[in-house]
A and B are shown apart, each in its own frame.
Chain A
Amino acid sequence: MKKVVILGGGVGGTIVANLLAKRFRPDEAEITVVDKAGKHVYQPGFVYVAFGRTKPKTLVRDERKLLRKRVKLVTGEAVRIDPEGRKVHLADGRSLDYDRLVVALGARLVPDELSGFSDASHHFYTLEASLKMKEALAAFPGGRIVVTVASVPYKCPPAPSEAACQLDYYFTKRRMRDKVDIHFLSPLSRVFPLEPLNPVVEQVFAKHKIRSTIFFNVESLDTKNRTVTSIEGETVPYDLLIMIPPHRGAKVVEDSRLGDRGGWLPTDKYTLRTKAHPDIFGIGDCTDIPVSKSGAAAHFQAKVVADAITADLRGQPATAKYDGHVMCYCDAGYHKGISMSFDYEHPPVPPPLSLKDWLGKHLLNKVYWYLVPSGRV
């Protein structure tokens, strides 16, 4: 019997497991998901926790309930991958053999990589931090809020611009907007990562008086004087700092010496097989694939990986290719949103801001649990 081991019970890992479980009988293939906490977390909802519009419990479900019954779930932490022995070692001493391994562990937040980050900055990239940010916003008396990223790459590239828009909406609703100066610092040459959509977001920023500085890549923080300095040589003061923490690839990838210098798993951007070991696949945020680190990318990649493993296990040529498809919604506040869909060959087409896309985002947040992890869509 063939063995497929999937590291990570996020969107990518869960879809691969469920699709394979549908295609193979239990006596044909054993499908095992290894997840550290056994919980599935819907990360796009974190920003709404920070702004007090979503309760944390709506964003977390038991992974077991999202997996088909015949998928084995191991709650534990993978600490070493042995590609030669085709084995994964867990922290509790157990080990799992595999014929095909899927690494879908997501990105790791490493706040300590920027001195002062943990003391000075708020963010919405974990549930705990989102709740703290909610408290900080509620207590904020007014002043300058700086929104930026500690380093690149980071998950969901449009998220910081979206957060700047949400801050404007939040303080407008609280009738405090005239007391709050929102300053967005972008690491890139524009305020929004997707060039075709940048003019739309620039208009939103201009309309709502969100200031911006481009080419600002953070080098250091001065927590005493409350300033942030870029490698490009600018220093900006803040009263409240909202900064996306530094990211690295998965620890087990780094510890197994399978990652690049940032810990990202070198993965073919079409076949999704890791460059060094074709029997190991990479999905989503933990890879070095040049698409946005997002649930949508992992979602679309998972189907390709499931097809490739299906072909491998059946002894057929694997022809599935990831085309770079990513899709996302961005909430600009005031019940307006933008949706984007693009791939390696087709850039996003600039849409107008619309209620439809705002509703689309909120609808997806609700129906995600029923449609996405199962692999139905």
Chain B
Amino acid sequence: MSPAEERIVLDARGSFCPGPLMELIRGIRQAKVGEVLEIWSSDQGSRKDIPFWIQKSGHELVGIVDEPGYARFVVKKLR
């Protein structure tokens, strides 16, 4: 299995409540250190929220990939 396939994907497109950030926090809490997660969000607010929280909570934003109508935030759990 390639590293890309091992990613934990959280599809939070269309989630207004609790929203993509809470889905990401849930995913990070459940993940093991070193694991990579992808959170999919169609919410424009995620572009600010998600990188800010990742930085504040000490994880790594591996990248943001734009897709039609949504973005994939790739995050590595560091602690």
> What residues of chain A have their CB less than 8 Å away from a CB belonging to chain B?
151-153, 157-158, 187-189, 193-196, 215, 217, 231-232, 260-262, 269, 290-292, 324, 326, 340, 342-345, 347-348
Given contacts A232-B57, A290-B12, A343-B14, contact A193 B30 (CB under 8 A): no
Report, nearest first, the 7 A-B pairs whose CB atoms are least far apart.
A344-B14, A290-B15, A261-B30, A292-B17, A157-B18, A189-B49, A290-B12
| Best-buried of A215, A262, A343 by chain B (most CB within 10 Å) | A215
Q: Which residues of B contact A193 (CB under 8 A)?
A: 17-19, 22
Q: How far is the CA of A291 from the CA of B45 in the complex (A)?
A: 17
Contact A290 to B57, CB < 8 A, known contacts A152-B25, A157-B22: no
Contact between B18 and A153 (Cβ–Cβ < 8 Å)?
A: yes
Residue of A nearest to B56 (CB): A232
A347: chain B residues within 8 A (beta carbon): 16
Q: Closest B-chain residue to A326, C-beta based?
A: B17
Interface string of B9-30 (1 = CB under 8 A from A): 0111111111111110110011
Residue in A153, A158, A196, A324 whose CB lies within 8 Å of B22: A153
Chain B positions within 8 Å of A, measured between CB atoms, are 10-23, 25-26, 29-31, 43, 45, 48-49, 52-53, 56-58
Residues of the A chain whose Cβ atoms lie less than 8 Å from the Cβ of B30: 260-262
In the complex with contacts A188-B21, A215-B53, A153-B14 CB distance below 8 A: no
Inter-subunit contact B17/A189 (CB<8 Å): no
Indicate if the CB atoms of B16 and A194 lie closer than 8 Å: yes
Which of B11, B25, B26 gathers the greatest number of chain A CB atoms within 10 Å?
B26
CB neighbours (8 Å) of A194 from chain B are 16-17, 19
Bound together, the chains give a CA A157 to CA B53 distance in angstroms of 18
Complex alpha-carbon distance, A215 and B30, angstroms: 18
Cα-based distance from A196 to B18 in the complex (angstroms): 12
| Given A189-B52, A195-B45, A261-B30, residue A292 in contact with residue B18 (CB < 8 A) | yes
Cα(A143)–Cα(B29), bound, Å: 32
Q: List 22 A-B contacts (CB under 8 A).
A: A152-B22, A152-B29, A153-B23, A157-B17, A157-B18, A158-B17, A187-B22, A188-B18, A189-B49, A189-B52, A193-B18, A193-B19, A194-B16, A194-B17, A215-B52, A232-B57, A262-B29, A262-B30, A269-B11, A290-B18, A347-B16, A348-B17
* Cβ contacts under 8 Å, A260 to chain B: 30
Q: Give A129 to B12 CA distance when docked, in angstroms.
A: 32
